[in-house]
Amino acid sequence: MGLTPSGVDLFSRPKTSEEKALSVTQLLRRMKNLLEVQIGETWVEGEVSNLRKQGSGHWYFSLKDEGAQISCAMFGARKREGSDALEDGAKVRVFAEASVYEARGQLQIIVQKAERAGAGDLQAKFEALKRKLNAEGLFDAARKKAIPPFPRTIGLITSGTGAALQDMLNILTRRAPWVQPVLFPVRVQGRGAEMEIAQAIAKMGRPEAFGYPRCDVLIVGRGGGSIEDLWNFNEEVVARAIADCPIPIISAVGHEIDFTIADFVADLRAPTPSAAAELAVADGGELLARLSQIRNRMTRTTRERLMRSQMAVDSLKRGVLQRDGEKLLRESVLRLDTVRGQLSLATRAALETLGQRLTELRASHKANHPAKVLERRTDAVAVFRQRLERAGRESMDRRSEQLDHLRVMLRTLGPESAFQRGFSITLGADGKIVTSAAAFKSGDLLRTKFADGETKSIVQP
């Protein structure tokens, strides 16, 4: 006998009208049970449409392909894995359970998690490259370079129009205004962006060969995005460019939860571009506060030692050395005064040195301000323009002289010169020059050109 999963005999006779009928609820419930048992949980791929986000936190949408569509529900969507991949028109894969919405008799699937279509392939590609580069030792801590504590010039390899650039510049200006940032703008997503990033790293690693200033550290990164948006930083060409760069590199790609191949190869990984700027430079305000604390501590320690020494001297004066103590302590007092003066001078000199260093840093930052750099570049362009104009005029003069010379030669060697010397040119009826008398026939029409005109004649026997 043929039975369905619910035990119904497929070959039994049709039921008569006298037999008990199922209610709609019972029928739908059987259908629901059958779907949940036979299909259960499975992966479904399609295009999202008609996405509706309810205030209750549940999301409803349709998943469709070229031939059909099905209703979907995701309960507590914001807490579900991959909910950010759901948007109208997006190609997604969802892990869901087939079911029936009894109240409407509607077939639907209950989505438990979602991911962008192809994300699984990208993750597999990511893991494969990660294993390969790790086996080659590109992730080893021993090969990573130390980030300098007080860099003077920092290279930024990122989008020239992204918010990440502005965040890094704001932090660098606030924390370390003496640092000179150098931007190398590149595309950070899309086909071919990985080649731009790798080439930028290679050029900044050998700046003298390309006319760039040498940087003490490089920050490579971009703001957050999906795995597809960040994928250029998972390409092997970028990883090897980072590994080959002689300058320390901080990788700052995406948000704190995002990890890329570039993060593993870089000398330091920052969770965000803003954090990379903070890791790259020390806080100037904190340095000044620390310097002030050291100065106060030195002053307090010196004053306390002097007070203790003075108390000891006073004690000796009041004791057994009351009579001759002043003579005995005269040399020590002089030595103490000398040490006090030396300490005061040393403290003042140290503070002056630090102040001078700060002034130099401020002057250097001012001299390298973009407006100053632009002014110098504008002057250089003006000089180049003058040279180009002068070279152009000289070239035109030489060409004009050559043209005059050729004109004279043409006039001297051309037909006009022959005409002036009494020569003429005879042309046949076809307009071609006649060079032999044998070419003439009786009755042929000839044209003879002279310097001042031409004549026609007919050949006679």
CATH number at residue 145: 3.40.50.2300
* Cα angle value 197/254/266 (rounded, 5°): 55
Phi, psi of 351 (to 5 degrees): -65, -40
The pLDDT of residue 82: 82
The mean-pLDDT minimum among 8-22, 66-80, 128-142, 283-297 falls in 8-22
Is residue 385 in a domain?
Answer: no
Of 75-79, 173-177, 432-436, which gets the smallest average pLDDT?
Answer: 432-436
258 & 331 share domain: no
The Cα-based distances of 53 to 41, 60, 75 in angstroms read: 23, 7, 10
* Per-residue model confidence (pLDDT) at position 15: 58
Contact 253, 231 (CB under 8 A): no
**pLDDT of residue 278 exceeding 80:** yes
The set of residues, in sequence order, having a beta carbon less than 8 Å from that of 57 and lying 6+ positions away, is: 75, 76, 77, 78, 79
Q: Render 365-434 in DSSP notation, one character per residue.
A: HHHT-HHHHHHHHHHHHHHHHHHHHHHHHHHHHHHHHHHHHHHHHHHHHSHHHHHHTT--EEE-TTSPBP
Q: Do 61 and 72 belong together in one domain?
A: yes
147 and 217 Cβ atoms separated by less than 8 Å: yes
Give 30's contacts (C-beta < 8 A, 6+ positions apart): 6, 22
For residue 283, the model assigns a pLDDT of: 84
How much is the pLDDT for 329?
64
Examine the domain organization and report whether 64 and 165 are in the same domain.
Answer: no
Least confident of 27-41, 127-141, 158-172: 27-41
Domain-terminating residue out of 282, 317, 341: 282
pLDDT at 11 over 60: no
Q: Is residue 40 part of a domain?
A: yes
> Would you state the pLDDT for residue 324?
59
Same domain, 143 and 65: no
If asked whether residues 82 and 173 sit together in one domain, one would say: no
202 lies in the same domain as 291? no
Cα–Cα dist 60/80, whole Å? 13
Percent of the chain with pLDDT over 70: 89
Residue 413 has pLDDT above 90, yes or no: no
Higher-confidence position of 456 and 3? 456
- Residue 159 pLDDT > 50: yes
Domain count, the chain: 4
- Asked, for residue 380, whether it belongs to a domain, the answer is no
Q: What is the pLDDT of residue 5?
A: 42
Closest CA to 207 of 188, 182, 187, 232: 182
Residues 84 and 209 in one domain: no
Highest mean pLDDT: which range of 48-52, 331-335, 440-444: 48-52
pLDDT score of 242 more than 50: yes
246 and 320 part of one domain: no
Assess whether pLDDT exceeds 60 at residue 3: no
CATH of the domain at 103: 2.40.50.140
For residues 129 and 207, state if they share a domain: yes
Could you tell me if residue 14 is inside a domain?
no
Entry field: residues in the chain? 461
| pLDDT score for 120 | 62
Strands laid side by side in the 153-158 sheet: 180-185, 153-158, 217-222, 249-253, 268-269
Between 357 and 156, residue with greater pLDDT: 156
- Range in 369-373, 413-417, 456-460 the model is least confident about: 413-417
Q: pLDDT at residue 33 above 50?
A: yes
E strand segments, 20-64: 41-53, 59-64
Structural domain of residue 127, as residue ranges?
121-282
Structure confidence at residue 96 (pLDDT):
92
In a domain, residue 435? The reply is yes
Strand runs labelled E in 119-272: 153-158, 180-185, 217-222, 249-253, 268-269
What would the pLDDT profile of 356-401 be if each residue is shown by its tens digit? Answer: 888 888 877 777 777 777 888 888 888 888 998 998 899 999 999 8
| Amino acid in position 361 | L
Q: Quick one: 109 and 177 in the same domain?
A: no
Q: For the segment 82-108, what is each residue's pLDDT rounded down to a tens digit? A: 888 888 888 888 999 888 888 888 889
8 Å CB contact between 260 and 123: no
**pLDDT at position 2, please?**
42
197 occurs within a structural domain: yes
For 108-133, write each residue's pLDDT tens digit.
999 999 888 766 667 778 889 999 99
User: Span 436-461, mean pLDDT?
Assistant: 77
* Mean pLDDT score of the chain: 84
Instruction: For residue 379, tell me if it sits in a domain.
Output: no
325 shares its domain with 302:
yes
pLDDT, tens digit (0-9, with 9 covering 90-100), for 291-334: 888 999 999 999 999 998 888 877 766 665 555 556 666 677 77
Domain termination site, one of 96, 117, 138: 117
Q: Are residues 182 and 277 in the same domain?
A: yes
Q: Is the pLDDT of residue 404 over 80?
A: yes
Contact 42, 98 (CB under 8 A): yes
> Residue 398: inside a domain, yes or no?
no
pLDDT of residue 28: 83
- Mean pLDDT throughout 208-217? 93
- Among 259, 282, 305, identify where a domain stops: 282
